[in-house]
Amino acid sequence: MTTVEVFAPAKINLTLHVTGQRDDGYHLLDSLVTFAFVGDRLTLAAADDFSLNVTGPFADDVPTDASNLISRAADLMGLSAAITLEKNLPVASGLGGGSADAAAAMKGLAQIHNRSLPDRDAQLALGADVPVCMMGGTVRVRGIGDRLEPLSVSSTSWPMVLVNPGVAVATSDVFSRLASKDNPPMDDPFALGPAFDLMDEFFDWLAGQRNDLEAPAREIAPVIGDVLASIAAQPGCRLARMSGSGATCFGVFGDDALAAEAAMQISAEKPRWWVVLSKEPGF
């Protein structure tokens, strides 16, 4: 196989609870993660030397040197390819784009060279979100990103609207402003049992959870509050919450038409914001 294309979907933190911090500085998390139907795309072609070309609406924000996670992933595997990244996701946006790109690159490199994927510890060395991006689906993520529990849920897709105000937020800055780093974990999603597949019951559960990074992120970028208010004001919105360390926020809707109308309304009111309609595929 000489050329492969790999999709790198946006990671959505439906919940994000910060439950502690290790002596080495790594934060402990308890998060329910899923993936949207929007994301970056990688095209990998067999080549003797590694190269990275970036296109797409957010190409100018992406470094192409050795600091890029795609380059680091190739170094980790000791494999080369000519890689083109179509960067459709905003950078430093709370969507795990860099980690998703690294996971996609490793999958593509493994296909081209007929090699095995790196183990989870090696993936984790690239970033806390890389293992879950490699796994995909809907996953409870704990620890420093090393404890993954996939959830089996129904095949019904819920429409989701993603909104980013065009402000990059550094994850390290958000964590440095976090007032409490020893917060309660989220309620066990596995305890829902069959109710997990029922929309109303799951939304009730989800509404009782948190993103502990929202408050410090809003200190850095107060516009996040405006984004959340705009999403929550749309008819049919069942939940509005920030993803990751921001600034992207998401709204989940129980109706396709209402979600589409919400995306159009927010885009009309805030034409400079990045607004995307997606179906979250985990449910």
- Say which CATH topology domain 152-280 has: Alpha-Beta Plaits (3.30.70)
Residues 6+ positions from 259 with CB-CB distance below 8 Å: 159, 160, 161, 236, 251, 253, 277
Q: Catalytic annotation on 101?
A: no
Output the pTM of the full model. Answer: 0.95
Helix (H, G, I), strand (E, B) or coil at 83: strand
Per-residue confidence (pLDDT) for residue 263, from 0 to 100: 98
| From 11, 30, 40, 107, the catalytic residue | 11
| From 23, 129, 146, 204, the catalytic residue | 129
Pairing of strands 17-21, 27-45: antiparallel
Per-residue confidence (pLDDT) for residue 282, from 0 to 100: 45
Where on the phi/psi map is residue 94: left (φ > 0), alpha (ψ -120 to 50), or beta? left
CB neighbourhood size of 231 (10 A): 24
**Helices (H) then strands (E): counts for the chain:** 9, 11
d(CA 70, CA 98): 8
Mean pLDDT, the chain, as a whole number?
94
- Mean pLDDT, 10 residues at a time, the chain of 283 residues: 93 98 96 95 98 98 96 98 98 97 99 97 96 96 97 70 98 97 93 68 90 98 99 97 98 92 98 90 46
CATH 3.30.230.10 domain extents, the chain: 3-149
Per-residue confidence (pLDDT) for residue 283, from 0 to 100: 41
User: What does the DSSP 8-state code read for residue 48?
Assistant: S
Q: Catalytic annotation on 129?
A: yes
Question: Which amino acid, one-letter code, is at 13?
Answer: N
Per-residue confidence (pLDDT) for residue 222, from 0 to 100: 99
Dihedral, CA atoms, 254, 279, 91, 221, nearest 10 degrees? 0
Evaluated on CA atoms 102, 103, 107, 108, the torsion sign reads: negative
CATH 3.30.70.890 domain extents, the chain: 152-280
d(CA 4, CA 26): 35
Segment holding 261, helix H or strand E: helix 256-269
Phi, psi for 227 (deg, rounded to 5): -65, -45
Would you state the CATH architecture of domain 3-149?
Answer: 2-Layer Sandwich (3.30)
